[in-house]
A and B are shown apart, each in its own frame.
Chain A
Amino acid sequence: MEKSKDKIIKISAKNSLPQLLLIFVLLGMALFLSLASPFFLTWENLRNILDHSSLYIILALGMTFVIASGGIDLSVGAVAALSGVCMAVAMKGGLGVGASILIGLAVGAATGTLNGAVISFLKINPFIVTLGFMSLWRGLSLIITGGIPIYGFPRGFTWWGSGHIGPLNPPILLAALLGLFAAILLNMSRFGYYTLALGGNEEALRRSGVSIHLYKNLVYMLCGVTAALGGLVVTARLNTAEPLAGWMLELDSIAAVVLGGTSMNGGRGSIAGTLIACLLLGTLRNGLVILSIPSYYQQLLIGLIILLAVIFAEVRSRKKISGSKPNSR
């Protein structure tokens, strides 16, 4: 019995290895940057990193559920723009701040559910479906605004981007609360169990009498809502609803999720990993700016990191499968 206990501890340690590794990389990077620049370890700068990371965290949390369920959502950046535009139009049309925000979130939920419906009911590959919707929502945002940004909102709205709550910003607190909620949801609720089961073995879940359609729709709906929250933060921060806001945001959030140890094949997801990975990417961007490295190199470096993370995760999981299951499949 003792022996098997040891084995289990080893297994769970192995499972959280990528997250531990990320923490080490993050700490190493912070140490290097604080030695390289006197500006890095100031509260202003740290808050800056948190502030920038919060947008990625909000989007990546929803994306974690989608990827853990074996899917992908390429439309989040476009949904962020569309929901921002809808909030702006609602406010310019005379609606209150609260009502406008709710409309934006509803738009996010609706687009997510649409993703989920096409993917689950019509059984079409999520990559293609969300790629199509990405272009569709971006086009719709451009049509609604005529390509011209909408700007100038009440203070109650811009507070969501640039207000202050003590030493922190609303986006940071929103990201933190959402992170806590997501961790509870993924690890402790039926919804979380079924999200992982969808990614692990959809057929088994179907055979146990759980509605696959319902839960797939809920997963994509959640992702749509987080995309809309991201749209709220972007729009409020810039005091502008841009039809081209959130450009490439899908790539950044997918990168963070994969870097955080959530499996692209589904079945495995880590909220803590996603949070750490977002902070890591945020710190990296910040460091490149502090060290005055041209922004072109940022793009290149982030692409490189994503590739390395995916290769590392994939090779690891392949080894694990061939090591533990010699006689099946």
Chain B
Amino acid sequence: MTTVSSPEKSSHHGEKKNPGPFPPKGLPFIRLQNIKKRFGPVIALDGIDLAIYPGEVTALVGDNGAGKSTLIKIISGVLKPDEGELSLNGKVYKHLTPSRAIELGISTVYQDLALVDCLDVASNIFLGREPLKAAFFVDKKRMNKESEELLRRLNVSIPSVTTPVEFLSGGQRQGVAVARSIKLQGRMLIFDEPTAAMGVSESAKVLELIRSLGDEGFAVLVISHNLHHVFAIADRICVLRNGRLIKNIRKEDTDLEEVVGFIVDSNQGRSKGTEAKTRQ
């Protein structure tokens, strides 16, 4: 019971109904400053400034090659930025490593890569963190009980925690992967195309889960191509184009058409000079 960790709800969480001055008060979970990354001659990220807050679902949108994946790889420590810094917990880092990122509570939720099909749900949730009895035996009872509690809290319905993961649907797998990230002490959860290759009702469940994670106080970052999904769950929408963050806007202050416009660059002239600095 007590091992289920939940981030503390920060003070700005309560004021959600009327969005405060932008950016909102409260401390960000992570703040990126002037992040630059190039691959040979290609500039993947060109000075990104971005803050991600606990209790918020931030959606990262943009066309293919806009730099979304590069950005989340830098946040999760897989890639090192060429320039810029990341601040977390009052500390400033030039770059993170995957294990450092996990220590700091940054967890990427992989739908397929993170789960072992042949092991059951509880074993997957606890993989690498199995509780022991008598310093040798895996405490299966405790694993099952805590997994059930965690999944119930996340509102993920699966037949039983002793079902092998291979028998689960895409949405259920996503739910187990989330539970696993939380078990790894995740404070910030990153989703890369969480609803890819999923049916309508399955997607709806996953979106509901992601939304509830934001409400529970986690900092959530989602990459998605599906703007309807983005508008269903996001508090904040960040538009990347050609390695620049050209828009960082609350969902209430925009609409789907406008975001499509930002992504496909319909206002070329306006964006060139000024829009790159939208974030005051």
Contact = CB atoms under 8 A, between A and B. Distances in A.
Interface of A: 4-5, 7-8, 11, 188-190, 193, 196-197, 199-201, 203-205, 207-210, 267-268, 321, 324-325, 327-329
Contacts of B231: none
B129 A207 contact: no
B149 interface: no
A267 B110 contact: no
Contact of A208 (B129, B160, B163): B129
A185 to B, nearest CB: 9
Contact of B117 (A5, A189, A209, A267): A267
B39 interface: no
A200 B112 contact: no
Interface stretch (B55-63, B130-138, B233-241, B271-279): B130-138
B138 A324 contact: no
B11 to A, nearest CB: 33
29 contacts: A4-B159, A7-B159, A8-B163, A11-B163, A188-B140, A190-B132, A190-B138, A193-B119, A197-B116, A197-B127, A200-B116, A201-B116, A201-B117, A204-B113, A204-B124, A204-B127, A205-B116, A205-B127, A205-B128, A207-B110, A207-B114, A208-B127, A208-B128, A208-B129, A267-B117, A325-B166, A327-B169, A327-B198, A328-B170
B117 A200 contact: yes
Given A193-B127, A208-B129, A188 B119 contact: no
B123 A193 contact: yes
Interface residues of B, number: 37
A295 B113 CA distance: 49
A197 B115 CA distance: 9
A187 to B, nearest CB: 9
A324 B198 CA distance: 15
Given A203-B113, A210-B127, 12 more contacts: A8-B159, A8-B162, A11-B163, A188-B137, A193-B119, A196-B118, A201-B117, A204-B113, A204-B115, A204-B116, A205-B127, A207-B113
A196 B127 CA distance: 11
Contacts of A210: 127-128
B116 A267 contact: yes
B14 interface: no
B102 interface: yes
Main secondary structure on chain A at its contact with chain B? helix
Contacts of B138: 188-190, 193
A197 B173 CA distance: 16
B7 interface: no
Contacts of A205: 116, 127-128
The 10 closest A-B pairs by CB, nearest first: A208-B128, A4-B159, A267-B118, A200-B116, A200-B118, A201-B116, A208-B127, A197-B116, A210-B128, A188-B137
B116 A196 contact: yes
B10 interface: no
A209 B173 CA distance: 20
B160 A8 contact: yes
B269 interface: no
A329 B170 CA distance: 11
A189 B136 contact: yes
B160 A4 contact: yes
A50 B158 CA distance: 44
A134 to B, nearest CB: 28
Nearest to B202: A327
Contacts of A329: 112
Contacts of B84: none
Contacts of A7: 159
Contacts of A197: 116, 119, 127
Nearest to B167: A324
A268 B110 CA distance: 23
A28 B263 CA distance: 70
B106 to A, nearest CB: 13
A193 B162 CA distance: 14
B134 to A, nearest CB: 10
B160 A5 contact: yes
B76 to A, nearest CB: 11
Nearest to A192: B138
Contacts of A199: 118
Contacts of A208: 114, 127-129, 180, 184
Residue among B114, B117, B124 with most chain A CB within 10 A: B117
